[in-house]
Chains A and B, each alone.
Chain A
């Protein structure tokens, strides 16, 4: 069975018949004819035989991976952020910000390419910009660079601001689990003001598998 998480920038694909594990394909490189059996993500309805809601997949995948009654899971994608909060083993709250929190992951990736920066080598800055989205935050970078701050420091402050905004969006939890491609960005993960447990970028695929298992189908 072919499972897919169709992200804005990257698609995560799992063929349950083989043991290689999930693969990542840039969305722009994915064969136009590709169709999954079960999928989630913004293109899922068009590119699969059956689709489920991203928040549902996130919650089910998170519940399987975390295995706790109470926790907060934040997913930072290319163009949006989502969170689910579990209390007593049930979803107590959730959010999906595709407007004001837009383009965070996309902008962070764009900036590293534009300025030629490696996030693994950037220390977490002392302060961050107060920003609400990737697009609006860009002007802070340009202003800081004009005022004499190095490009690397300005981008690091931007990333820290993005992380803080996402943390507030998730309800300022005492600790949080993180999902999505930004789990691999040490500057981003280190910028949260609380302990962070990265779960990687396949949580939604785990949610699809959990859906199949709940239906008594092999996953």
Chain B
């Protein structure tokens, strides 16, 4: 019987391949896995901190895991490097830091496909758990772009049209090259683009910098959940770019 293994960030392909071979159950600790108040993490990690990493700690407080792999290299962030210390002291199971510098491109078919953006992000983040090659998908003509990391709360993605191309670290994730800064800083200047970073994330500097270079950009950040002004900014940006915001629920 396989183990339950938590992962943070994108561990190296060799690690994922080994987990797949052993039949382990992979739990993505970057995503909300438990329905518990975030404030339960306050004694372990500051409240004013990346909501993704706070989610990692919250998950670890509640889930039964046999091991945790946490990527702490240039493909993740210094925050993860320090949270790895917290987890190592907090958990009774091995917490194994990795430094993913894989440079074999797997391609980014999901990032350029036509599908609801929330589904797209779910499939991209889920693809991290497999070492298998991606299925090919037709490239759609984009009407707008989303640059950034997968948000803590995917409901942020609800207003975007299906023909949204994804850029930034999410594209690096799908490509399985999370430390590829050249890929991360790519964007399409011909489509209106939202540049997103989690509040208190180091990538917010890159988001703001690239948004300033883009001719039609909106830079946003959000902490645990998007507030009404963040949602309104996205809706107005899309509307004023001639794109009818989708009114789908955030289920």
Q: What string of 1s and 0s marks CB contacts (under 8 Å) between B214-230 and chain A?
A: 01111000000001110
Q: Is there contact, CB below 8 Å, between B239 and A56? A: yes
Residue B233 CB within 8 A of the other chain = yes
Q: What string of 1s and 0s marks CB contacts (under 8 Å) between B121-161 and chain A?
A: 00000000000000000000000000000000000000000
A90 to B240, CA, bound (A): 8
Query: Which residue in A55, A80, A97, A99 is a CB contact (below 8 Å) of B236?
Result: A55
- Ranked nearest first, the 9 interchain pairs of A and B with the lowest CB-CB distance are A55-B236, A98-B229, A91-B240, A96-B229, A53-B236, A56-B236, A96-B233, A56-B239, A53-B232
Q: Is there contact, CB below 8 Å, between B239 and A53? A: yes
Residue A54 CB within 8 A of the other chain = yes
Q: Is there contact, CB below 8 Å, between B229 and A91? A: no
Q: Is there contact, CB below 8 Å, between B233 and A55? A: yes
In the assembled complex, which residues on chain A have CB atoms less than 8 Å from the CB atom of B236?
Answer: 53-56, 59, 94
Query: Which residue in A53, A90, A99 is a CB contact (below 8 Å) of B216?
Result: A90
A95 to B216, CA, bound (A): 13
A97 to B229, CA, bound (A): 7
Task: Look across to chain B and name the residue whose beta carbon is closest to the beta carbon of A80.
Answer: B229
Residue A92 CB within 8 A of the other chain = yes
Query: Which residue in B216, B232, B237, B241 is a CB contact (below 8 Å) of A54?
Result: B232
Q: Is there contact, CB below 8 Å, between B232 and A55? A: yes
Q: Is there contact, CB below 8 Å, between B227 and A94? A: no
Q: Is there contact, CB below 8 Å, between B229 and A94? A: no
In the assembled complex, which residues on chain A have CB atoms less than 8 Å from the CB atom of B217?
Answer: 92-93
What's the minimum C-beta distance from B200 to chain A, rounded to whole angstroms?
A: 13
Residue B235 CB within 8 A of the other chain = yes
Interface residues of A (CB under 8 A from B): 42, 53-56, 59, 80, 84, 87, 90-99
> Which B residues between 229 and 251 are near A, CB-CB below 8 angstroms?
229, 232-233, 235-237, 239-241
In the assembled complex, which residues on chain B have CB atoms less than 8 Å from the CB atom of A90?
Answer: 216, 240-241
In the assembled complex, which residues on chain B have CB atoms less than 8 Å from the CB atom of A84?
Answer: 240
In the assembled complex, which residues on chain B have CB atoms less than 8 Å from the CB atom of A93?
Answer: 211, 217-218
Q: Is there contact, CB below 8 Å, between B240 and A95? A: no
Q: What string of 1s and 0s marks CB contacts (under 8 Å) between B165-192 and chain A?
A: 0000000000000000000000000000
What's the minimum C-beta distance from B156 to chain A, rounded to whole angstroms?
A: 15
A122 to B218, CA, bound (A): 37
A54 to B228, CA, bound (A): 11
Q: Is there contact, CB below 8 Å, between B216 and A98? A: no
Q: Is there contact, CB below 8 Å, between A59 and B240? A: yes
Q: Is there contact, CB below 8 Å, between A94 and B239? A: no
Given contacts A53-B239, A59-B240, A99-B227, contact A94 B216 (CB under 8 A): no
Task: Look across to chain B and name the residue whose beta carbon is closest to the beta carbon of A97.
Answer: B229
What's the minimum C-beta distance from B108 to chain A, rounded to whole angstroms?
A: 27
